[in-house]
Amino acid sequence: MLDFTRVLAGPHAGRMLLDLGAEVIKVEPPEGDITRTTYPRVNSVSTYFAQQNAGKRCISIDLDHHEGRELVLRLVDQVDVVLENFRPGVMDRTGLGYAELSAINPRLVYASISGFGQTGPWKDRRAYASVIQAESGLTRSQVE
């Protein structure tokens, strides 16, 4: 499986598949996954990153360069699943959307996670926990 995910929902899904026996290759940008720099840390390793990505093989690929995209296209023929959690359209703009990848690997399962769906007026909104809690009315002030 190629795992293009970041932050929580996607990496957690990839971790569950890994725990069920999948071989997971986490594709990170050249600067690394953003959660590699979070705290707390144990022995210089972000515990958040370790929790969600332990056991995954990590590779750094610059998707903004032709060579990086070509490498992904070669890897796609070797995997069963691609998992991503970018906002809708991001993978298509890089030339790595479902249409392009399934043409190379027709048996490919392409899983896309987004907070507000793939269509509709909010599809491009970021969906971090604080945003979802506020939109759902689950945040509140506690006054004692």
* 84-128 per-position pLDDT tens digit: 999 899 999 999 999 999 999 999 999 999 888 888 998 888 887
Q: Are 71 and 95 in contact (CB under 8 A)?
A: no
User: What per-residue confidence (pLDDT) applies to 144?
Assistant: 58
Which are the contacts of 103, defined by CB distance < 8 A and separation ≥ 6? none
Does 19 have pLDDT greater than 90? yes
pLDDT attached to residue 35: 94
Share of the chain above pLDDT 90, in %: 77
Q: Specify the higher pLDDT residue, 71 or 134.
A: 71
**For a pLDDT cut of 70, what percent of the chain falls above it?**
97
Q: What is the C-alpha to C-alpha distance for residues 89 and 91, in angstroms, rounded to an integer?
A: 6
pLDDT of residue 65: 95
Instruction: Give the chain's mean pLDDT.
Output: 92
Number of neighbours of residue 18 by Cβ within 10 angstroms: 19
CA distance 21 to 70: 27
Strands 41-42 and 45-46: antiparallel
pLDDT, one tens digit per residue, over 120-144 is 998 888 887 788 788 888 776 666 5
The larger pLDDT score, comparing residue 136 to residue 45, is at: 45
The Cβ of residue 5 has, within 10 Å, a number of other Cβ atoms equal to 25
Q: Is the pTM of this model over 0.95?
A: no
